[in-house]
Amino acid sequence: MNTIRRNPPKPAPSRISGTLKVRTRDTTEQTAPTAREDSEPARKPAPARADKPAPKGRPAREQGRGEQGQARADREPRRTERDQARGERAAGRTERDPARKERDGARTERPRTERDGTRGARGPGRDDSTRAQRSESAERGPRPAPARSNTADAPRATPERRRADAARPAEPHVERPTRVPAAAGEVPPEGVRLSKIMAERGICSRREADEFIERGWVFVDGKRVSELGVRIDPDARITLAAEAARTQQQRVTILLHKPVGYVSGQPEPGYAPAVSLIGADNQFDCDTAQRFHPSQLKNLAPAGRLDIDSTGLLVLTQDGRIARQLIGADSEIDKEYLVRVEGTLAENGLDLLNHGLWLDDRPLRPAKVEWINDDQLRFVLREGRKRQIRRMCEQVGLNVVGLKRVRIGQVKLSDLPLGQWRFLREDERFG
């Protein structure tokens, strides 16, 4: 519980005169007149009021202000004496140095804002040599920033290094000769890439060629080549090591009778890829051929497309040579289809199906198309664009209701059941 005392004890009067750590000055002390005192009227020191009790009714705050004013008055004479001593020392240096005297005189004649280029004079007692250096720097203008180096750890260039670089003459501009591209069909003088020649000759695919080169299984004119990107003469003799031949023999090619509803390439939402049908359970030639091993699915890719609504022969292979033979840009392997249609054929529709139609702003290669019965056509094509047969029939008034591929080159679907697969035999060739 808080209580209020009616008669609180009175504090003893303070015996400290002025502000703490400030020495009192005898009012009778006389100081020499300075330049500042000549230009400004002398301040009269305020009388000391520490010992004099505050008048009745005067607040204690005003009494504190009086003490602070007395302290400032006590410090002012000491500042004046200190500034006068510094001015005398600067004047002595100027008298001893005639050049400094001339500079100081010239600086005095100019306005204060032009004296050092920034703020003018800082007051008495500053080092004149420092102000002279600032004035000369301002007259010369700002110094250009040094160029930055791209290397973080590069040492700073010394003044001698910079002067030597500035004195060095500029290097003359040399125009490089324009490279003229080789004419069409002309072989560059440095040769052709080894992997490209191997693929063109049907030795292997370019990917397989790079693999064989890295393993050192390729010989050019009897010399082993193990570096990628090597260029050789197009007529050079290329041979493979026995290890490469065995590797190619181990790579399999599979023939699948694809059902409707499976995609031949990349899987689509809601549909399974055709490669998912390859397994030991549905191998057709398990009694006469090698047994299936899961490692044979590695790098197994379809060589050609077959639409999701189509059925028939689909080739999946690990051998780049076969893939290039079937789907390469220069492939001459033909493919045979049985197509069931409905609708009314245009007057010259059969002729157009054989040759004369365009797809995707490009003409189609000649084909062989003929009637088998009233509602079935046989197509023999040498190219395979997306949904090509269906789009060809639409242009002549027909609608495809069933499509089956029965042959690729010399390999036929034959009696392979729907949804099953077999290995390509050693005596079978597509072309």
For the record, the structure tokens of 165 come out as 């670089």
Calpha distance 255→413 (Å, rounded): 8
Contact by Cβ (8 Å): 357, 395: yes
Residue type, 44: K
Enumerate the β-bridge partners of residue 239.
219
Calpha distance 173→246 (Å, rounded): 58
Contact by Cβ (8 Å): 413, 312: yes
Buried b / exposed e along 294-316 (16+ C-beta atoms within 10 A): eebbeeeebbbbbbeebbbbbbb
Between vectors from CA 26 to CA 22 and to CA 27, what angle results, nearest 5°?
115
Q: Is the dihedral angle over the CA atoms 415, 420, 423, 428 positive or is it negative? A: positive
For the record, the structure tokens of 317 come out as 């292979």
For the record, the structure tokens of 404 come out as 């089956």
Residue positions annotated with a catalytic role: 307
Contact by Cβ (8 Å): 365, 415: no
Calpha distance 202→208 (Å, rounded): 11
Q: What is the per-residue DSSP string for 381-413?
A: ES---TTHHHHHHHHTTEEEEEEEEEEETTEE-
**Cβ partners under 8 Å of residue 212, min gap 6:** 204, 218, 240, 241, 244, 247
Between vectors from CA 306 to CA 386 and to CA 345, what angle results, nearest 5°?
65
Residue type, 164: A
Which backbone phi and psi does 278 adopt, to 5 degrees? -85, 115
Which backbone phi and psi does 341 adopt, to 5 degrees? -130, 165
Contact by Cβ (8 Å): 308, 263: yes
